[in-house]
Amino acid sequence: MPNADNDLYEFGSFRLDIADQRLFRDGKPLHLEKKALGVLVVLVQSEGRLVTRDELTEKVWGAGVYVDPNTVSTQVAAVRRTLGKKWADKYIQTEHGRGYRFTAEVRVVERTTARTLAGNGESEAKPDEPKPHSFSAFPTEQPPRSTEEMEQTDFVPVPVTPKKRIRTKRLLLIAISIVALVAVFTVGFYLWRQSEEETVKRTLLDSQLYETLEIYTNPNEFSKDWLKKYWVTEEQGGMEIKRVITAVEGLRNKGRRYGKDSKSENFEFRYVKLSWLGNQAEISTNESWYLPMYDKDGNRVTGRREYQTFLAIYFLEKRQGRWLIQRTTVPRPAPSPTVMPQSSLSPTP
């Protein structure tokens, strides 16, 4: 029976190793980021009961930490993508407004058993049996040599003075200190880089959710001040902000808007490449959106693609400690006069 003390589970063709923080399918490791893996652990250990968003937030992010509901939905969506549509639909049930239920049959695997199975076929060495070609790390005892024999040798032992010992210890301490400083700097730089990457990714994801689920679903209530949260302003040389404004004006003129049913659970957002230098960053993504559109009377607009999949590139700048979008290749719901930035990745029409 799953519980918090177990750390190795199997369901279907999947194996979840909590101790190593890894997920396998048919013995092959699958990539799953830390938060998404935490969500899967909580669901697997829930024993089929309903897990609310609040419970997921408390157990994965920590008690007392505010987490946007869209963030939880995004991590659940990441788990679904990793499992695959066939198994995700079978194993994870979404109860809208309440939470999630993990319905797979979960088996607890004893780690000692797993290790035994992994080691089958290997003979265990017997410590009492002598091994061939063995040698001793210490020379056999030799009879004492005479003074004449010692004088005939070329080796003359050099005594080690106390000053040399002190100097050797000092050099050793200096070497250890240097190694420790390099290790601390390396770990610190790695942690900083990981944190910076997460911040850039979070800014990008939140901006796209905000643009699609807030601005384009309420174009008539749109205010230009809304864009200062995620985009570089026109006064600062921002190019993308003009395209967003043009898209909103196009929706207003046509009397159209995106529907509230365009929820974060209905899209996929995968990072392909991230690189940055100083205060400049570039991110490539592969995105799939579900975007039904409605007219001013609330009727659904037909004859258009509601599922849209495309590759996109985002160029960001860091200003006053915040990452902001400068320009992108993301398609918008209305034509834009702004020239698209050149890139090796072009959005799929």
Q: Which of 62-76, 131-145, 334-348 has the highest mean pLDDT?
A: 62-76
Beta-carbon contacts of 283 under 8 Å, excluding residues fewer than 6 positions away, are: 200, 201, 204, 271, 273, 274, 313, 314, 316
**Bigger pLDDT: 6 vs 314:** 314
Average pLDDT (2-28) is 87
Give the list of residues 6+ apart from residue 65 with CB closer than 8 angstroms, or none: 57
- At position 345, the amino acid (one-letter code) is L
For CATH 3.10.450, list the domain ranges present in the chain: 195-328
Rounded to whole angstroms, how far apart are CA atoms 191 and 211? 30
Q: How confident is the model at residue 338 (pLDDT cuts 50, 70, 90)?
A: very low
DSSP 8-state assignment for residue 344: S
CATH number of 195-328: 3.10.450
Distance between CA 204 and CA 182 in Å, rounded?
Answer: 33
Least confident of 32-41, 104-113, 179-188, 334-343: 334-343
Q: What's the pLDDT at 282?
A: 92
Tell me the C-alpha distance between 251 and 259, whole Å. Answer: 12
Q: Which of 6, 16, 190 is nearest to 102 (CA)?
A: 16
Q: Is the pLDDT of residue 135 over 90?
A: no
| Contacts of the segment 217-223: beta carbons below 8 A, 24+ positions apart | 217/257, 217/258, 217/259, 217/260, 217/262, 218/257, 219/248, 219/251, 219/252, 219/256, 219/257, 220/252, 220/257, 222/248, 222/252
CA-closest candidate to residue 219, choices 188, 195, 186, 253 = 253
All CATH 1.10.10.10 domain ranges in the chain, comma separated: 8-108
Where does residue 342 fall: left (phi above 0), alpha (psi -120 to 50 degrees), or beta otherwise?
beta
**Distance (Å, whole) CA 320 – CA 74:** 28
What residues contact 291, with CB distance under 8 A and at least 6 apart?
212, 258, 262, 306, 307, 308, 333
Q: Tokens 């365009």, residue?
A: 262
| Between residues 287 and 155, the one the model is more confident about | 287
Distance of CA 122 to the CA centre of its chain: 37
In CATH, 8-108 is 3.40.50.970: no
Q: Please report the pLDDT score of residue 128 as a whole number.
A: 40
Reply yes or no on whether the pLDDT at 9 is more than 70.
yes
Which ranges in the chain belong to alpha helices (H)?
34-44, 53-56, 69-83, 85-91, 111-118, 147-152, 162-210, 240-254
pLDDT at 278 over 90: no
